[in-house]
Chains A and B, each alone.
Chain A
Amino acid sequence: MSALDVRDLSVGYGKVKVLHGLSLAVPEGAIATVIGPNGAGKTTLLMALMGLIPGRGAVVYGDRDIAADSTEERVGYGLCLVPERRELFSDMPVADNLLLGAFPRIRRGARDVEDDVAAVYQRFPRLQERRTQLAGTLSGGERQMLALGRALMARPKLLMLDEPSLGLAPRIVRDIFQVIADLKSTGVSILLVEQNARAALQVADYGYVLEMGELVLEGPASELAANPRVLESYLGLAHSPE
C-alpha cells in the first residue's frame, strides 16, 4: 500500500519541460528519498506534488487522485511540504509561525493546538527559547527547525522535505535527520529530497535517483547505496573526511 503514488508526471515552466513522465511511490509509513544533482528537478517535483505548479499526470494519495486539487485542499488531506526556501513568516514571532501551521485545524475547531505547540518545543527546545523572536532573525538551523515544527503543527500524514540539510552545520544536520527518523516511527510517511545522498540513503527505506528530469535508478535504499553508479556520482566523497 502506498501513501502516495505518482504516475507519469510531467511538469514544466511555460515551454520549458523540467520533469518528463516520472512515476514513483512513497510506501505507507516509510521514508522514500529522491536524490540527484542540483537542477535535476527535485524541487519542481515537490512543488508539483503540493499543487504549487501545475503538472500533467496522476497524483494518487490514499485512494484519490488529487492532481486537480488546490494546495490548500492537499494540506487539508494531510500533505505537507517543508520547502527548500523555508517560506517562514519572517516578521512574525516563532510562536505565531507555529500557530499558523495549524490554521486549517483551528478553523475546523481543533482544541489541542497548544499541546502540539508544546510538543514542538519539546522536540526543539531552541524554538521555545526563541518563541517571542521574529522568525526573520533566526539562524539557518533555527529556521529549519521552525519550518519543520510549523509543518508538524499540521499533523501531516505525508511529509515532504526539500533539502532539509541545506546550508546547515553537520551537528544540526544530524539532529534534523534524527527528527526525520523519529517521525517515521510515529507512522508519518515521508518523501525526502536531498543532495546529501549519503545521509538521505541512510535514513530512507527506498530511493530514487533523478537526473535531468528523469528517474534513472531506483531501489531499496541500502541497495542504491551500494550501486556503483551511485557510489561514484553521489557518494564519491564517502571515504574522505568531513
Chain B
Amino acid sequence: MSFNIALWLSQDAITNGAIYALLALALVAVYTVTRVIFVPQGDFISLAALSLATLQAGLVPGTVYLLIGGGLLITAIDGVAVLRKKKLKRFAAIALENIALPAVIAGAAVWSASRPEDILLQVAVTLAIVTPMGPMLYRLAFQPVANAPILVLLIIAVAVHYMLTGMALVFFGGEGVRTQLLPDISFQLGVLNITGQSLAVIITSLVLIVLLAILFGSTVYGKALRATALNRTGARLVGISSEFTGRLSFALAALIGAASGILVSPFTTIYYDTGFLISLKGFVGAIIGGMTNYPLAALGSLLVGFLESFSSFWASTFKESIVFTLIIPVLLWRSLTTHRVEEDEEP
C-alpha cells in the first residue's frame, strides 16, 4: 500500500469513526443512565435521513404523523392520570409538550417542504422532528418498566427497534435516498483530496463531542445524569427523578442519531434499515468502552473506523466480519481487566 492510499483510507476512517463515536457516546449515556442497551439508536439515523430527503423532495415526511400520534398517546395516558388528581397546571404542561409542540413542528415541516432550496431550515426541521421521539419512546416503552432487569429492557429495546424499522418502511418505502447538504466542493491538501462533505462531518462531530463533554462535565443537568449512573438510590434521594434523567438521555440519543443521519446521508445511501447497521459499529466502540467509559468509547469507535476502512482495502468482502470479530477479543480483554459496574440492588 502506498502512503497516498493510506492517507486516503485514513480520511475515510476518521470521517466514519467520528460518526461511530457520536453514536457510541449516545449508547453509553443511555446505558449508564437507564440501563437500556439502546438497540433502536440507529433507527433515528434512518428516520432523520429519510425525513430530510422527503423534505428536500418537497413533501411532508411521515415521521411527523409518528410524532403527533405519539404525543396524543402520551397525553391520553398521562393527561388523564393528572386530570383525575385535578392537577390542571400539570395537565397544561403535558398537553403543551405533547400536542402543541408536535403541532408546531408539523407546521414547520409543511412550511419547510414548500421551500426546497432552504437546506438549513430542512436540517433544523429534521432535528426537531426526530429529537422528541427519544423522550416519547422512553415514556411509552421504558418508563413503565424502568426497574426491570437489564435483559427485559434489552428485549424491549429490540422490539422497539423492529417497530421503528417497520414504521420507516411504511412511511418511506424501500427506496434508498441520498440527501444534498453542501455543494460538492473539495480541495487539495498535498496528495489528499479533501471533500467538503467529510470535513463537515469531522468538524460537526468534533463540535458535538465537545458540547457533550461540556454538558456532562460542567452543567448541573449533565452532572445529574452522571450521578444517576453512579448511584441510582443516591440520585433519587437528592430528588433527581429517573423519569427526568431517562427522558433527557433519550432526547440526547435521538438528537445524536438524527445529527448522524443528516451527516452521513450525503455520501451513504440510506434505506429504512441502514441506520441500524451503522449504529452496530457504534456499539462496537461503546463495548470497547465497556458501555460506561465515554473517552474509551469514542477512541474505540475511531479504531472501528480505521479497521473498517483499511480492511475494505485489503479484504473488502470480509470488511464487516473483521469489524464485528473485534468484539470477541475486546470482550475477553475487558472481562479480564475490569470489574463490572454495580447492578441495582433495589427490590
**Chain A contact residues, CB within 8 Å of chain B:** 13-14, 50, 52-53, 70-72, 75-76, 80-81, 83, 87-92, 96, 99-101, 103-104, 106, 150, 153-154
Contacts and interface: CB of A to CB of B under 8 A. Distances in A.
Top 9 A-B residue pairs of the complex, sorted by shortest distance between their CB atoms: A75-B239, A87-B234, A104-B239, A72-B241, A71-B236, A89-B227, A89-B230, A87-B233, A72-B239
B220 A100 contact: yes
Contact of B237 (A53, A87, A91): A87
Q: Of A75, A80, A87, which is in contact with the most chain B CB atoms at under 10 Å from its CB?
A: A87
B238 A103 contact: yes
Given A88-B234, A91-B230, A92-B230, A154 B239 contact: yes
A103 B234 contact: no
Interface string B108-120: 0000000000000
B223 A76 contact: no
A100 B223 contact: yes
B226 interface: yes
Contacts of B243: 72
A88 B243 CA distance: 20
B241 A70 contact: yes
A219 B230 CA distance: 41
B346 A52 contact: yes
25 contacts: A50-B237, A52-B346, A70-B241, A71-B236, A71-B237, A71-B239, A72-B241, A75-B238, A75-B239, A76-B239, A81-B237, A83-B233, A87-B231, A88-B231, A89-B226, A89-B230, A90-B231, A91-B226, A92-B227, A92-B230, A100-B224, A101-B238, A104-B238, A104-B239, A153-B238
B240 interface: yes
The bracket for how many chain B residues form the interface is 10 to 19
A83 B238 CA distance: 11
Contacts of B329: none
A70 to B, nearest CB: 7
Given A72-B239, A75-B238, A83-B233, A103 B347 contact: no
Contacts of B241: 70, 72
Given A14-B347, A103-B220, A75 B237 contact: yes
Contact of A92 (B226, B236, B347): B226
Interface string B263-296: 0000000000000000000000000000000000
A123 to B, nearest CB: 18
Interface string B209-233: 0000000000010011011001101
Nearest to A74: B239
A52 B239 contact: no
B26 to A, nearest CB: 20
Contacts of A150: 238
Nearest to B236: A71
Contact of B240 (A50, A52, A88, A103): A103
Given A87-B237, A104-B238, 12 more contacts: A50-B237, A80-B237, A81-B237, A89-B231, A89-B235, A100-B223, A100-B224, A100-B240, A103-B220, A150-B238, A153-B238, A154-B239
Contacts of B226: 89, 91-92
Contacts of A81: 237
A160 B1 CA distance: 69
Given A13-B347, A52-B346, A88-B231, A103 B237 contact: no
B209 to A, nearest CB: 21
A52 B345 CA distance: 12
B230 A103 contact: no
A130 B116 CA distance: 58
